[in-house]
Amino acid sequence: MKINPYIQVQQTYSAKKAGAVKKTGTAGRADNVEISNIGREIQVAKQAVANAPDIRKDVTEPIRAAVNNGTYAVSGESFAEKLLKAAGEI
């Protein structure tokens, strides 16, 4: 006698089949979503940030021109002080 395990599995799953779903009556009220004033302000702020350019040309262009002309000079002491301050050493 040969036992086929696939038939047993099929019988197990077919016995647990879900019955037909009965439709109930309609709900007494509808869902409603309201966005608060703070939520609207956040949406406006997000939109403004998304539309803003990644690079501020009004700040970077003069520096870029000075570097290209060879007139841009950085004080070594000033740079070192800012670097240490950023690192939390000062």
Sequence spans of domains, the chain? 36-90
> How does DSSP classify residue 27?
P
Query: What pTM did the predictor assign?
Result: 0.36
Q: Could you give the C-alpha distances from 5 to 11, 14, 15, 61, in angstroms and in order?
A: 10, 14, 16, 76
* Sequential pLDDT tens for the chain (90 residues): 566 666 666 676 665 555 566 666 666 788 888 889 999 999 999 999 999 888 889 999 999 999 999 999 988 999 999 999 999 876
**Distance (Å, whole) CA 45 – CA 50:** 9
**Distance (Å, whole) CA 73 – CA 28:** 74
pLDDT score for 77: 92
pLDDT score for 25: 64
pLDDT score for 46: 94
**Distance (Å, whole) CA 89 – CA 82:** 10
pLDDT score for 19: 59
pLDDT score for 90: 62
